[in-house]
A and B are shown apart, each in its own frame.
Chain A
């Protein structure tokens, strides 16, 4: 089938991409837009590696048609660090500081799921953090360090008094 041009808004930037209706958002983000931070693990909704934030909600880009995302605001892991300097966000730094990243394959999805949680609920309990990450698999860290990294970030922010 013939390709058609659509515009995707990713991290506040418009990208014009040529796609067919059957193209999956995760593939378009990685191949056409060339933002390869978003990972594709299972392709079936089970692992969460492909999580992106669409209009404020964490969604799975492997189960999303790219053509259905026109006019929506998409955020990927590339939109989390400072766009000008590339400096990592405090949450990303906390992941590094707490050993929450080993091979790193799950990390973008973990950061997107936790970012969506923290925007909705800036002071989550441990259980709320675990629930928010229940759709993100990690084969390396055993999850404990990831939860610790998010808790430490939440606590540090509470102590510094900025929100």
Chain B
């Protein structure tokens, strides 16, 4: 399969040059990072951009910085493979490390970027659930400066995000995990399932010294057009010790919130069962790991 529409190709070398160019081209340009989503869209004729600005080679947009006690920052153009292979990321943000390792194939992970995964905003995307469960923010930059917002608000629906013409996603800022806390990621679906049948989920739990839950977050992917945050988990768990019963209550709440659809790949009933089971498992895993932390 080939790309059938022609375009101008630009590869700016610095971020200043990129911001100028992207501002000038406005809505007539598409940003290319790793290209693993964009090229497929172009080959399928879903988009026919007049101009492509390749930001994949701009060093200022890539890199992993884990700060002692002060969270971490990951550049938008950091390759998924570099996140998967980073011991520093695995140590602090295990659920993100896990999710990164589940994307596509080794070759796809060498090409794909973290920023591309959130910007493409596929409902089934692998990394947004864990990033949202950690409370990650994104930095959106243009020649006029930077703005920050929560990742969960940045992703607005299938292939929709908050970027305006002239803007680039440049960085993820992830808060320092709470002292006795753990975040767990899980997914169920076909192998290499891209936009199909997968349910993915991240659960982040912090415990107090007496072993009761201090904070709890649950974010689901693939069950709605955008990452679905489950506020109920706080009402169910905070102040209590997790029991099988309580974990099942979270499972019920996740199932009720998700309202998945039936299609050729799986029935809504099947999906609901899977969501419930995954929520119960991850709540228990995260709670046990948080207590042991």
Contact B107 A135 (CB under 8 A): yes
Q: How far is the CB of A86 from chain B (nearest CB, A)?
A: 27
Cα–Cα distance between A21 and B2 once the two chains are bound (Å): 12
B277 at the interface (CB under 8 A from A): no
Cα–Cα distance between A27 and B4 once the two chains are bound (Å): 13
Contact B40 A134 (CB under 8 A): no
B190 at the interface (CB under 8 A from A): no
Cα–Cα distance between A135 and B36 once the two chains are bound (Å): 14
Cα–Cα distance between A46 and B107 once the two chains are bound (Å): 10
Contact of B106 among A1, A20, A113 (CB under 8 A): A113
Contact B56 A68 (CB under 8 A): yes
Known contacts A44-B1, A44-B40, A63-B39, A68 near B107 by CB under 8 Å: no
Question: B192 to chain A: which residues have CB within 8 Å?
Answer: 46
- Chain A residues 134 to 161 lying within 8 A of chain B, measured CB to CB, are 134-136
Q: Produce 1/0 per residue, B1-21, CB < 8 A to A.
A: 111111111010000000000
Cα–Cα distance between A63 and B104 once the two chains are bound (Å): 13
Contact A48 B52 (CB under 8 A): no
Q: Produce 1/0 per residue, A112-140, CB < 8 A to B.
A: 01000000000000000001101110000
Question: B39 to chain A: which residues have CB within 8 Å?
Answer: 24, 63-65
Contact of B107 among A43, A44, A58 (CB under 8 A): A58
- Chain A residues 1 to 49 lying within 8 A of chain B, measured CB to CB, are 1, 20-22, 24, 27, 43-46, 48
Known contacts A22-B3, A44-B43, A46-B192, A57 near B108 by CB under 8 Å: no
Known contacts A22-B5, A68-B11, A63 near B110 by CB under 8 Å: no
Known contacts A24-B2, A24-B3, A68 near B54 by CB under 8 Å: yes
Q: Produce 1/0 per residue, A45-72, CB < 8 A to B.
A: 1101001000001111001110110000
B111 at the interface (CB under 8 A from A): yes
User: B residues within 8 Å of A by Cβ?
Assistant: 1-9, 11, 32, 35-36, 39-40, 42-43, 52, 54, 56, 81, 104-108, 110-111, 192
Question: B5 to chain A: which residues have CB within 8 Å?
Answer: 22
Question: A131 to chain B: which residues have CB within 8 Å?
Answer: 106
Contact B105 A134 (CB under 8 A): yes
Contact of B81 among A24, A46, A57, A68 (CB under 8 A): A57
Question: B43 to chain A: which residues have CB within 8 Å?
Answer: 43-44
Task: Kindly list the 6 A-B residue pairs having the minimum CB-CB distance in the complex, ordered from nearest.
Answer: A135-B105, A21-B9, A1-B6, A43-B1, A22-B3, A57-B110
Of chain A, the residue at the smallest CB distance from B9 is A21
Contact B108 A21 (CB under 8 A): no
Of chain A, the residue at the smallest CB distance from B4 is A22
Cα–Cα distance between A57 and B39 once the two chains are bound (Å): 19
Cα–Cα distance between A1 and B40 once the two chains are bound (Å): 21
Known contacts A43-B43, A65-B35, A68-B9, A60 near B108 by CB under 8 Å: yes
Cα–Cα distance between A43 and B108 once the two chains are bound (Å): 13
Question: B52 to chain A: which residues have CB within 8 Å?
Answer: 21, 65
Question: B6 to chain A: which residues have CB within 8 Å?
Answer: 1, 20-22
Of chain B, the residue at the smallest CB distance from A44 is B40
Q: Could you list 13 further interchain pairs (A-B, Cβ under 8 angstroms) beyond the known A65-B35, A67-B9, A132-B106? A: A21-B9, A22-B2, A22-B6, A22-B7, A24-B3, A44-B1, A45-B40, A45-B104, A45-B107, A68-B9, A68-B54, A135-B105, A135-B107
Cα–Cα distance between A113 and B106 once the two chains are bound (Å): 9
Contact A51 B1 (CB under 8 A): no
Cα–Cα distance between A27 and B52 once the two chains are bound (Å): 20
Question: A67 to chain B: which residues have CB within 8 Å?
Answer: 9
Cα–Cα distance between A64 and B4 once the two chains are bound (Å): 15
Cα–Cα distance between A130 and B43 once the two chains are bound (Å): 30
Q: How far is the CB of A125 from chain B (nearest CB, A)?
A: 15
Cα–Cα distance between A44 and B5 once the two chains are bound (Å): 17
